[in-house]
Amino acid sequence: MGDYLFTNVRILDGSGDHPYSGEVLVQGNRIKQVSRSSGRSTGGNGHTVIDGAGATLMPGMTEAHTHLSWNDQPSLEAIQQMPLEEHTLFTAEMAKRYIEMGFTSCMGAASAKARLDVVIRDAINQGRIPGPRYSAASQEITTLGGLGDTSPPHLDFPELSFGCIVSGVEEMRRAVRQFIKYGCDTIKLNLSGEEIAGVGAEETPMTDEEAAVAVSEAKRRGLRVAAHARSNESIKMCIRHGIEIIYHASFADEETLDLLEANKDKHFVAPGLAWLIRTSKNAAEYGVHPDSSLGMMYAREAEIATETMRKMHRRGIRVLPGGDYGFAWIPHGTNAKDLEYFVDRVGMSPMEAIVSATKLGGQIMGRPDELGLLKEGYLADLILVDGDPVANIRILQERARILAVMKDGSFYRAPDVTAQGRSSLRWAG
């Protein structure tokens, strides 16, 4: 960590305002000064001067629905069966991949093993491994026979299952308390089903009473609650019980949309459109052919979810990028594809899509007054991008276009500060 002056940059501050030419001074882990200028400063006062040569400087992005421990395999069983030691190393490697792609914050949405998210979060915070700001989630808590119950029907070994299986209020209470003991930040509930797991997306296996006690136990200890909620009833459960983070929300009807709009300051929605689209179109190699019944079910949900997100966006409901990256056909590191889908399918402008990944990202991370904007006094989580993402949102998917990444005032992909000018600019990492 040091003092850095970014000069000759195009500032995209994450607020939705038009970008402008200027300079940004970082002192320690904070943004000290943001100024409009067209000149090129030579610095001084001990600052390291970074000439951006016209590149775009913007806040680091947030992935709102992150599974760092999903190991790019084709099934939940294959993810769960990776041995713990190898799984820990893989998850650490994914943390590095995310921050190098410009995601300086990630909201954990479920861990493949009970303490993986917690261990990785702590290692990042201790400086032992590189990675984003990370909110550590529990395993998916599911009902017997629900999404995440992958134990064989002829064997009663719940430890072989992908999720933490509960049946009834007291088992739910114990599970939540266990994850609180482990040090999780967020409790994840699987309220609805998932077609690929053999449980209908419009089914709601978890009872109202089970969800209520989970929320009560979590909030008593200051934890947040997130839910896999595709079905209309499961989305209503989130609203009823104050489950802040809603994942998917595909099948919300007009009544539910009205309720969500009335409570829009209390909830975030991360739909995971890339999962639906790419499972319906790009998973044939892994057994999900587009013309199969499963492929067609995902194509149907993708169409419905896209229209639902268009309605949510028009109503001012907070819709954020992220969801279920970490399968073979939707690998980690391709997460910025969500922003393209937001523009091309949901009807957001490129600037609105960027705001969803920056300003709204600071909000879902629980730090709206210091994260998600390029603003004086805010934390110095910044990325330098070769080009203009407002003109072409797709460039945020290209690793080579992410020229530098800073988190908390420290570089995770650092510029060669001795280089002068774009033509000779070289970047470490």
pLDDT for res 41: 57
Domain topology for 4-60+373-424: Urease, subunit C; domain 1 (2.30.40)
Q: What is the pLDDT of residues 105-130, one digit of tens each?
A: 999 999 999 999 999 999 999 999 99
pLDDT tens for 284-314 read 999 999 999 999 999 999 999 999 999 999 9
Average pLDDT over residues 233-259: 98
Of the pLDDT bands very low, low, confident and very high (cuts 50, 70, 90), residue 162 is: confident
pLDDT computed for residue 39 by the predictor: 57
Q: Write 410-414 long-range contacts (CB < 8 A, 24+).
A: 410/1, 410/29, 412/99, 412/100, 412/130, 413/100
Cα 4 to Cα 46: distance, rounded to the nearest angstrom: 9
HEC profile of 131-184: CCEEECEEEEEEECCCCCCCCCCCCCCHHHCCCEEECCHHHHHHHHHHHHHHCC
pLDDT-derived band of residue 417, with 50, 70 and 90 as boundaries? low
Report the b/e string of 99-108 with b at 16+ CB within 10 A.
Answer: bbbbbbbbbb
Number of helices and strands in the chain (H, E): 12, 17
Mean pLDDT throughout 53-66?
Answer: 97
Query: Cα Rg for the chain, rounded, in angstroms?
Result: 21
**pLDDT of the residue at 80:** 87
Q: How far apart are CA 320 and CA 339, in angstroms?
A: 9
Q: How far apart are CA 21 and CA 12, in angstroms?
A: 9
Q: Average pLDDT, stretch 398-404?
A: 96
Structural tokens at position 74: 């084709």
Which pTM was predicted?
A: 0.93
Nearest to 259 by CA among 274, 276, 272, 242: 242
What is the predicted pLDDT for the residue at 44? 56
Dmax (CA) for the chain in angstroms is 72
Structure tokens that stand for 310 in this block: 């268009």
CB of 288 closer than 8 Å to CB of 310: no
C-alpha span between 252 and 231 (Å, rounded): 7
Q: Answer yes or no: are the C-beta atoms of 201 and 231 closer than 8 Å.
A: yes
Reported as a single tens digit per residue, the pLDDT across 13-36 is 999 999 999 999 999 999 999 999
Q: What is the pLDDT of residues 163-215, one digit of tens each?
A: 999 999 999 999 999 999 999 999 999 999 999 999 999 999 999 999 999 99
More confident residue, 321 or 151: 321
Mean pLDDT of the chain: 93
Please list the residues that pair with 227 across neighbouring strands: 189, 246
* Whether 390 contacts 11, CB under 8 Å: no
Residue 227's nearest CA partner among 150, 298, 148, 162 is 148
Measured CA to CA, the distance from residue 110 to residue 104 in angstroms comes to 18
> For residue range 251-277, what is the model confidence (pLDDT) as tens digits?
999 999 999 999 999 999 999 999 999
Q: Do domains 4-60+373-424 and 61-335 have the same CATH topology?
A: no
Taking alpha carbons only, the member of 131, 111, 119 closest to residue 70 is 111
Provide long-range contacts, Cβ within 8 A and 24+ apart, for 366-371: 366/135, 366/224, 371/59, 371/105, 371/133
d(CA 235, CA 256): 7
Q: What DSSP element (H or E) covers 97? A: helix 84-100
Helix axis angle for 254-262 and 232-241, nearest 10°, is: 20
Q: How many residues does the chain have?
A: 429
Residue type, 90: F
For 255, other C-beta atoms within 10 Å of its C-beta total 10
Please give the structure tokens belonging to residue 118: 């917690």
Q: In the prediction, which pLDDT does 377 show?
A: 98
The confidence score (pLDDT) of residue 424 equals 33
The pLDDT of residue 152 is: 79
Residue 427 has pLDDT above 80, yes or no: no
Q: What is the residue whose two structure tokens read 């064997």? A: 155
Nearest Cα neighbor of 32 from 42, 40, 23, 41 is 23
Domain locations in the chain? 4-60+373-424, 61-335
CATH architecture type of domain 61-335: Alpha-Beta Barrel (3.20)
- The pLDDT-based confidence of 37 (bands split at 50, 70, 90) is confident
| pLDDT tens-digit readout, 376-388 | 999 999 999 999 9
CA atoms of 11 and 22, how far apart (whole Å) = 6
| 229 has pLDDT over 50 | yes
pLDDT band at residue 426 under the 50/70/90 scheme: very low
Which residues, in sequence order, are CB contacts of 341 under 8 Å at separation 6+?
273, 274, 277
Give yes or no for a contact between 138 and 188, defined as CB atoms under 8 angstroms apart.
yes
CB 404 within 8 A of CB 413: yes
* pLDDT digits 0-9 by tens, 328-369: 999 999 999 999 999 999 999 999 999 999 999 999 999 999
Pairing of strands 20-27, 4-11: antiparallel
pLDDT at site 323? 81
pLDDT value of position 43: 52
